[in-house]
Structure 1
């Protein structure tokens, strides 16, 4: 008979995917009366689809350049128009992910800063954290790594370090950073925390508007 503790661990390991969380955040914000648009990067546009389909073939500076090109097109075609029409735009992966994954792929930070110099900084960066052992269990529960960027505990540890450095990079540029620990939290709990952070940010901006 299987140990119930193992079953609980397996359920925890399968939950808290980013796509699930962003959909829940969108649902919560709409319930509060906000206009919401959810999207992802690489985008669903032609450049984004090219980046997705060649992520295991292209490496380093070539992939970083393609991802940046997709981001500029994404901003022009989708992100800015939605924002300007009054929507809260929720993007699953954006500039902070680039500053982590492309650095793991061997790209220098100064190159990433240069090629992304004209993208819009996020109004709020949400960093989902997880204990390394749980991250490894979640990868195993999904049937293995879905990306060459997530290949085991060593890559997870490297990613954690890079995200901490990226959080500092964002803070230095006055981008608010919300860290949410997903180790033992359900997707709905994580989404609720993020929703509360977004609502608090919107309230602060109404009181103290500032240009980005």
Structure 2
């Protein structure tokens, strides 16, 4: 299954990062060469975006995220794909179509900033019932201002459904999963099955 680019997005508290780690472990256990990465990236500009959510908002944050994404694609993702690795990225364009829109940037403007980035072979979007996510957030605490906003979880979940439809219309293969009751391992196994299915279709 070499040279595949898979992105995993979803609202804060849905268990996305845990799923990403489990997907990487499952693929490696099958003998696949896998790169697990994330956005914002670990580059200086990515760290500026990651730790600057309180300071940067709206278009300034959208541009910062997009700049980090283009660098991430050029410096990390493309080289890994060229080596024949499966790249599993924690957050990508779907998150921009949600968080930057929540920040007041029109969706078309967000898309225009990001549409020249490499599109994934499979964009996985994990969602869940609002009450299930809010329970998890209550247990671990909010990690960003998006998660602290009153009604933020409900808005974020709704925007991810919209982002999925938008990306599918743009021709991006999208896999939507519900983590309301499923644990991270079950969701991860479903993602791996989706990756294999895409690979099989690509070879047909």
Q: Structure 1 length as normaliser, TM-score?
A: 0.87
CA distance in 2, matches of 1:162, 1:17: 17
Structure 1: gaps of 5 or more residues: 1-14, 208-212
Structure 2: gaps of 5 or more residues: 1-12
In the alignment of these two chains, the number of paired residues is: 192
Larger Rg: 1 or 2? 1
RMSD: 1.4
1:128 aligns with 2:156: no
Q: Which runs of 4+ in 1 moved over 4 A?
A: none
Is contact 2:14-2:136 (8 Å) kept? no
Residues 16 and 102 of structure 1, relative CA distance in 2, 3 Å threshold: closer
Structure number with greater CO (CA < 8 Å, separation at least 6) is 2
Please state how far the C-alpha of 1:16 moved relative to its aligned partner. 6.0
Q: Which residue of 2 aligns with 1:71?
A: 69
CA distance in 1, matches of 2:193, 2:78: 23
Among 34, 40, 60, the alignment partner of 1:42 is 40
Q: Which residue of 1 aligns with 2:117?
A: 119
Among 195, 198, 201, the alignment partner of 1:198 is 195
- The secondary structure found in structure 1 opposite 2:151 is helix
Q: Structure 2 length as normaliser, TM-score?
A: 0.90
Q: Which residue of 2 aligns with 1:147?
A: 144
Q: Which residue of 2 aligns with 1:7?
A: none
1:104-136 CA deviation, whole Å, 9 max, x = no partner?
A: 000111211221131011111111111101111
Is contact 1:129-1:180 (8 Å) kept? yes
CA distance in 2, matches of 1:122, 1:99: 15
CA distance in 2, matches of 1:195, 1:91: 14
